């Protein structure tokens, strides 16, 4: 696989071209804005949390393929999940993104387990090899964290 | 035309011998920072190897040599700009940004009062915006912006009104996003007629076209060394010596004083007042070498070279990608700088830059520190390619190859 194909996996391009859970939610859903001052990417995450479950999530904004795909993948990964499950995905995702410059060793059983548990999100693992793009991938997740804290 | 030959310039640039991802580097980011020729690197190297010492106050030989080198650079800058008052009005700063801070926080604090108008334009770099907003926190300035037309030029239809009550017109000579060259001389005359002083951001122009301060008849100029083939870490603030004499100190410490007692201090006069602490001596030596190098090329030749590369690139981009790739900047006439901001339909600038990097092409995605301008055109970012005197049409070939790849990849 070329570097580019590793970064822009088919799943990522698919989520970029056809983002899931796009749009807004009316109040009382919470609304959190995220901002990447370096590249001007902007994102708004709307969250409906009912009885400890993320019952709905919608996202608006603009940015590069990585930030858009990451937000779309995130919305799918957390929708319908309990807050505890969401916080687990969040921390796994952030761990994956801080493996800066290193390719995750898929033969290492612990990594394999983590990647498998991340499902489609694992497609974003290639981003970690491109340090300047990590911020693109994590924008949605940081915004989600902030939204959950405020909730 | 004289002996200008971009292929020969290219051979002088060590950084252009690199390969990136298996391809020769295609450096199209000179608008952000230019690549220094060997003579600049060698001048700094020679200085550090043989002549390094602190400047001023020294008695021994190398200290005198260092002082001569540093002050020689100041004289070279003055000559390069044809500065009225010569070297006396040249202050070395860290970069253009610091020079703007010096303007706002020294001249501005001493000369502006509540209600005064500072006139900027919508195409300014943040370096010429943020210091004015910061000053507005203590002085109730009326900060106005000359709008930009849909054709990417300054909209001067309301200029008389905008100039009412103006104390300072602070404007870029060339936009780092659009490539637009502004009519500095005419606007300076107009602003002077309204009693204002005029500051010009020459960051993008000074290494790319001739600058003549006597002819421009402006009051302040600022720029960075690293955009004119020089090193990072040095910039220039120029003003008329008689204006400099009225400006209060900016940074305090050693070097900028006439006397220090236990009950206070007396600042030095002239440019010394504004150069606190040990200055950037090696960088001044490098800047001096860059000026010599540019003078050897001839700034008229550099400008003509930029223009021919730009005209060629615009016509090829329009031809090959008609409609799909939009150039954010003037395209109708040749009078523009070698900066091409691209908006590719359906492909984000970050993704463009990533695909270009794969074949060794260096362009810059982002807002280019000109967010008000980006907002004006409803853009979050562009991918910007910018030329230097070492750029060739070959670079445009590779840029087009990369753009085609990106468009194919993202569909
Ligand atoms: C027009 C313009 N003004 C000011 C600056 C600031 O220069 P520096 O970052 O070297 O201070 C730049 C560089 O990006 C520029 O292009």
Q: How many CB atoms lie within 10 A of CB B136?
A: 16
- Residues of chain A in contact with residue B348, where contact means CB-CB under 8 angstroms, are 63-65, 68
Whether B350 and A66 lie within 8 Å, measured CB to CB = yes
Whether B348 and A63 lie within 8 Å, measured CB to CB = yes
Distance from CA of B346 to the nearest CA of A (A): 9
B172 lines ligand 1 (CB under 6 A): yes
A62: CATH? 3.90.1010.10
CA B173 to chain centre: 9
B222 lines ligand 1 (CB under 6 A): no
ipTM for the predicted complex = 0.84
- Of ligand 1's atoms, which has the minimum distance to the CA of residue B31? 16
Distance CA(B386)–CA(B373), nearest Å, equals: 18
Nearest residue of B to residue A13, measured between CA atoms: B410
Q: Tell me the residue range of the domain where A6 lies.
A: 2-150
- Paired with B148 in beta bridges are B154
CB B162 within 8 A of CB B185: no
Tokens of A93: 């995702």
Sequence-distant (6+) residues with CB within 8 A of A70 are A124, A127, A136, A137, A138, A139, A140, A141
B224 lines ligand 1 (CB under 6 A): yes
Tokens of B175: 């936009």
Tokens of A15: 């989520």
Distance CA(B237)–CA(B254), nearest Å, equals: 20
Q: Which of B133, B157, B153, B131 is nearest to B143 (CA)?
A: B133
How far, in Å, are B234, B376, B401 from residue B386 at the CA level?
21, 21, 16
Which domains, ranges and CATH numbers included, belong to chain B?
6-30+299-410 (3.90.1150.10), 41-296 (3.40.640.10)
Q: What is the 3-state secondary structure (H, E, C) of B334-346?
A: CCECCEEEEEECC
What is the SS3 assignment for B237? strand
CB B152 within 8 A of CB B178: yes
CB B327 within 8 A of CB B316: no
**Count of domains in chain A?**
1
Q: Which of A27, A23, A65 is nearest to A48 (CA)?
A: A27
Q: How many CB atoms lie within 10 A of CB A129?
A: 17
Distance CA(B171)–CA(B121), nearest Å, equals: 6
Q: Which of B380, B384, B394, B403 is nearest to B337 (CA)?
A: B384
Whether B409 and A62 lie within 8 Å, measured CB to CB = no
Nearest residue of B to residue A135, measured between CA atoms: B350
What does pTM read for this prediction?
Answer: 0.93
Which pLDDT tens digits describe chain B residue by residue (411 residues)? Answer: 457 999 999 999 999 999 999 999 999 999 999 999 999 999 999 999 999 999 987 889 999 999 999 999 999 999 999 999 999 999 999 999 999 999 999 999 999 999 999 999 999 999 999 999 999 999 999 999 999 999 999 999 999 999 999 999 999 999 999 999 999 999 999 999 999 999 999 999 999 999 999 999 999 999 999 999 999 999 999 999 999 999 999 999 999 999 999 999 999 999 999 999 999 999 999 999 999 999 999 999 999 999 999 999 999 999 999 889 999 999 987 689 999 999 999 999 999 999 999 999 999 999 999 999 999 999 989 999 999 999 999 999 999 999 999 999 988
Q: How many CA atoms lie within 13 A of A117 on its CB side?
A: 16
Nearest residue of A to residue B352, measured between CA atoms: A64
Whether A133 and B354 lie within 8 Å, measured CB to CB = yes
């Amino acid at each position: 696989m070329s570097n580019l194909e590793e970064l822009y996996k088919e799943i990522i391009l698919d989520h970029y071209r056809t983002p899931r859970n796009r749009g807004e939610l009316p109040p009382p859903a919470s609304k959190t804005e995220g901002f990447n001052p370096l590249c001007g990417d902007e994102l708004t995450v709307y969250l409906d949390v009912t009885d400890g479950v993320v019952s709905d999530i919608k996202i608006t904004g603009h940015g590069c393929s990585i930030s858009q795909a990451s937000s779309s993948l995130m919305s799918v990964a957390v929708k319908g999940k309990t807050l505890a499950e969401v916080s687990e995905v969040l921390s796994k995702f952030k761990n994956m993104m801080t493996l800066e410059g290193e390719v995750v060793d898929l033969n290492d059983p612990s990594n394999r387990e983590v990647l498998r548990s991340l499902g489609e999100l694992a497609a974003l693992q290639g981003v970690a090899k491109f340090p300047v793009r990590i911020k693109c991938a994590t924008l949605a997740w940081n915004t989600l964290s902030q939204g959950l804290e405020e909730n | 035309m004289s002996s200008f030959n971009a292929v020969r310039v290219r051979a002088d640039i060590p950084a252009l011998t690199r390969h990136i991802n298996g391809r020769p580097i295609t450096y199209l980011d000179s608008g952000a920072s230019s690549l220094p020729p060997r003579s600049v690197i060698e001048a700094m190297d020679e200085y550090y190897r043989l002549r390094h010492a602190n400047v001023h106050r020294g008695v021994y030989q190398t200290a005198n040599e260092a002082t001569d080198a540093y002050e020689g650079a100041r004289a070279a800058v003055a000559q390069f700009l044809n500065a009225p008052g010569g070297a006396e009005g040249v202050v070395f700063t860290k970069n253009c940004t610091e020079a703007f801070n010096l303007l706002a926080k020294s001249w501005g604090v001493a000369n502006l009062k509540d209600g005064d108008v500072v006139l900027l334009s919508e195409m300014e770099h943040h370096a010429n915006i943020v210091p004015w907003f910061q000053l507005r926190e203590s002085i109730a300035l009326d900060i106005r912006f000359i709008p930009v037309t849909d054709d990417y030029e300054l909209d001067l239809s309301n200029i008389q009104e905008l100039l009412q009550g103006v104390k300072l017109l602070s404007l870029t000579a060339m936009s780092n996003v659009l490539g637009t060259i502004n009519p500095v001389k005419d606007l300076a005359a107009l602003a002077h007629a309204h009693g204002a002083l005029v500051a010009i951001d020459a960051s993008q122009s000074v290494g790319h076209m001739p600058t003549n301060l006597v002819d421009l008849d402006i009051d302040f100029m600022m720029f960075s060394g690293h955009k004119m083939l020089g090193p990072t870490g040095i910039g220039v603030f120029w003003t008329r010596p008689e204006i400099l004499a009225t400006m209060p100190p900016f940074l305090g410490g050693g070097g900028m004083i006439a006397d220090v007692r236990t009950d206070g201090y007396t600042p030095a006069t002239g440019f010394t007042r504004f150069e606190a602490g040990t200055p950037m001596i090696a960088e001044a030596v490098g800047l001096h070498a860059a000026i010599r190098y540019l003078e050897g090329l001839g700034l008229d030749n550099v400008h003509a070279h930029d223009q021919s590369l730009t005209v060629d690139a615009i016509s090829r981009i329009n031809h090959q990608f008609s409609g799909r790739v939009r150039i954010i900047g003037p395209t109708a006439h040749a009078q523009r700088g070698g900066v091409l901001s691209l908006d590719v339909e359906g492909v984000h600038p970050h993704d463009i830059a990533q695909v270009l990097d794969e074949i060794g092409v260096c362009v810059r995605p982002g807002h280019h520190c000109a967010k008000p301008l980006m907002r004006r055109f409803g853009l979050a970012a562009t991918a910007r390619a910018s030329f230097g005197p070492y750029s060739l049409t070959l670079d445009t070939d590779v840029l087009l190859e990369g753009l085609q790849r990106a468009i194919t990849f993202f569909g």
